[in-house]
Amino acid sequence: MFTSRQLLEKLVAFDTTSRESNLALIDFVWRYLSDLGVSCELIHNAERSKANLYARLGPAGDGGVMLSGHSDVVPVDGQNWSVPPFALTERDGKLYGRGTADMKGYIACMLAAVPHFLAQPLTQPLHLAISYDEEVGCLGVRTLLEALAQRAEKPAICLIGEPTELQPVLGHKGKLGMRCEVKGAACHSAYAPQGVNAIEYAARLIQQLTAMGERMAQHRDSRFDPPFTTVQTGIISGGRALNIVPAECAFDFEVRTLPQDDAQAIAAELEAFAQAELLPRMQAIAADSAIRFYPISGYPGLLTDAQSEAARLIAYLTQSSDFSTVAFGTEGGLFHQAGIPSVICGPGSMAQGHKPDEFISIAQLEACDAMLQRLAAWMSK
């Protein structure tokens, strides 16, 4: 049997930055579970360069609990690490390495708990899921959910182990990333009115987006921080020279919505403004002027009912009903959309995630081990 610390050391050694393959890590997990007699299923991407892993143990039948985590990590490029990022380093009760908090620490605890689950008289099945490409838009888990949708037997609850310091979390905002491309008409800047300045029209769109954000800030939900839906423009590019009216401009913006708000409706409102207010002016000067919108990424928000079975379970496991929300996104909204109520609870803190010298405390790993043992006892009743 491996301890969670020993497994974390092995998991951290795999460079599973989202731009890299995760197959070496998945192969290690597959072999580990196979040696324990647990059969696994791999669900690959189209290029077969990455895979989700799904496993199930315990009795047959519908329901049960799924433990879910993502295998990919964010890059270390440009970060000043004092320890090797892809090797586990212990110092003052903390374990350092990329992914220790987000979220290989949880996966290590999940895997370490498997022998204990196997030894229990489980009355419902335990499902295990490890996904890829969560950090770049919750991409990989979608094919896993498509596969589960084809089956009659599905988990009743999903416990996603994102780092919350093992506090029970029931919600997070959704996100929609969009790109807007503005096509104008170039001319010499001395005759600027004869052209269509793509940068200026992009600026009007951004100004409209800002106004929409100010309006949405009036509708608040104190369970979230910030307590309202937000919009922001993160990237803009355009123009070739100061004496040329720019014919192209593009900008990327994101909408982070309260779970009850519709990000697509917000994007549609901006597109309607472009079509009604800006395009007629542009095309009056140059008929082939255009404004186009393209989705970049997105995932739904999550807000699990505090009276649900999932909420009651996580309250029992954490011995706390002090439910909260987190600012970052997770795969939880996608699981919920697939009909699997989800809660977020895992060891470590996102305050250390995505940073140099990322770490998780040994105490948090041990507390997660204990939480999963309580889950095994609950599933054996």
**Residue-wise pLDDT tens digits, 144-172:** 999 999 988 899 999 999 999 999 999 99
Retrieve residue 72's tokens: 């990919």
pLDDT at 304: 96
Of 235, 237, 236, 249, the C-alpha closest to 186 is 249
Of 340, 311, 337, the C-alpha closest to 323 is 311
pLDDT at 1: 82
Q: What residues are labeled active site? A: 72, 134
pLDDT at 381: 85
Q: Please, what are the averages of pLDDT over each run of 10 residues along the chain (381 residues)?
A: 96 98 98 97 96 96 96 97 98 98 98 97 97 95 95 93 97 96 98 98 98 96 94 97 98 96 96 98 98 95 96 96 94 95 97 96 98 97 85
pLDDT at 152: 83
Bridging pattern class, strands 65-70 and 51-57 = unpaired
